[in-house]
Amino acid sequence: MSEAVQLQPAELRVEVLDGRDAFVGLEREWNAALARGPRDEPMLRHEWVRAWIENFAPGATLRTFVVRAGGREICAAAPLIETRDRNADTCFLAATTWSSPVNDHSQRGGLLLGARVEESLELLWRTLLAAPGWDRLRLRDLPDGAPEWRLRDLAAGKGHSCGLWESLRSPYLPLPKTYEAVEKALDGKFRQNLRRRRRRLEALGEVQYQLAEGRSLDEALADFYEIEAGGWKGKDGTAIAQRPELVGFYTQVAREALKRGALALGTLTLAGRPIAAHLSIVHGKRHYLIKIGYDESLHEHSPGQQLVAEAIRDSCTRGLSEFDFLGPCMEWKLDWESKLRPHAWLTIYRPTTRMKMVHALRHTAWPMARALFAKRS
């Protein structure tokens, strides 16, 4: 009997793609690679990143570092946006930053990681280390425990200073098999208030929860944007409907999710009138709550929490394992006895005199000064 031939893993190589068009061409193989990796989340999918670039940074300089095995299968990819800064963040010293395409609307950041994660991250780091043109590398809102944190260790090993800033403690709820089990675990006072306010809301008219499958997407999104703009966000000028780039981003994200059957755009109606709505994505056995809005004139009936209850009930019915509230920690999210997932920014500095100064001021002197000021006040 002949011995089995042990095949050697294909060699990993990096290619650097310039511009949006080159990035767009990666879509199919990008998402296939993501599905093979450790972090298959909607905000890391190609269509989400593309929507971000097209709406928040359409004219920015974009480089995508792609790690391939044998010149074919994608094992990792890092799209990086270049900015030139001279502001308080850089202590008013000129600095060129290469950062992941992430902002507050991204909810969570990271890189595309497929197979062979450890090798890919090491090769990616060596390539970035040799690449000229950057003073800082920044990955925003990395969740605790993400494989991308390996870059911090690799950078520190080469004498690069790293800055960390905790940006989010994002609530999430592990889901049991039934909504009744979720209710049972709630604080008794919150559970009773939720039920009592539901009864009072139903006394005003029929209350229904429906997903966008039975309506046109444009109609459902219009209701969602109108509800979201009707409260404090509209007064503060931060509502989605008040900024074209936000309308473009969330509409694009919703349409792409609908195409692959991942959209959960839910609306709570009172006597046929929309009073609360959420934009969510269901992916990989998890419900990701992207955005939520409610009619604040009905605050005494907790329409937002009534909507969340319906969304969680629906998630249990689907057999999902987690309800991810995303975003910052808020009291209404903690009412659901949710756990917290820390996120932080990782910034890697070139070991130049100028960047060592920026790092020291940004991550040592300023925090000490703020702490001293807070103590005196």
Alpha carbon 358 to chain centroid distance? 27
Question: pTM value?
Answer: 0.93
Mean pLDDT score, 142-147: 98
pLDDT band at 6 (very low <50, low <70, confident <90, very high): low
The reply to whether 125 and 64 lie within a common domain is yes
Query: What are the residues whose beta carbons fall under 8 Å from the beta carbon of 251, sequence distance 6 or more?
Result: 221
222 inside domain: yes
Give the model's pLDDT for residue 94.
83
| Cα dihedral 263→259→72→136 (10° resolution) | -50
Element (H, E) at 208: strand 207-211
Q: Where are the beta strands (DSSP E) in 107-184?
A: 112-113, 136-143, 162-174
Give the model's pLDDT for residue 7.
62
The reply to whether 16 and 161 lie within a common domain is yes
Percent share of the chain, pLDDT over 70: 94
Instruction: Give per-residue pLDDT as tens, 332-345.
Output: 999 999 999 999 99
Mean pLDDT score, 92-106: 93
The reply to whether 73 and 100 lie within a common domain is yes
Tokens of 157: 């090993």
C-alpha dist (Å) from residue 43 to 40, 326, 329, 359, 366: 9, 11, 19, 29, 32
pLDDT band at 62 (very low <50, low <70, confident <90, very high): very high
Within 10 A of 121 (CB to CB), how many other CB atoms are there?
A: 23
Mean pLDDT score, 220-245: 89
The reply to whether 22 and 72 lie within a common domain is yes
pLDDT greater than 70 at residue 164 = yes
4 inside domain: no
The reply to whether 105 and 160 lie within a common domain is yes
Give the model's pLDDT for residue 2.
45
262 inside domain: yes
pLDDT greater than 60 at residue 120 = yes
The reply to whether 150 and 17 lie within a common domain is yes
52 inside domain: yes
350 inside domain: yes
256 inside domain: yes
Tokens of 186: 């709630």
The reply to whether 141 and 230 lie within a common domain is no
Instruction: Give per-residue pLDDT as tens, 236-289.
Output: 888 999 999 999 999 999 999 999 999 999 999 999 999 999 999 999 999 999
C-alpha dist (Å) from residue 79 to 12, 84, 98, 137: 18, 17, 9, 12
Cα distance between residue 258 and residue 256, in whole Å:
5
Residue ending a domain, among 279, 305, 320, is: 320
268 inside domain: yes
CATH of the domain at 94: 3.40.630.30
Mean pLDDT of the chain: 93
The reply to whether 254 and 212 lie within a common domain is yes
Instruction: Give per-residue pLDDT as tens, 20-57.
Output: 999 999 999 999 999 999 999 999 999 999 999 999 99
pLDDT greater than 80 at residue 90 = no
Domain that holds residue 27: 12-166+344-376
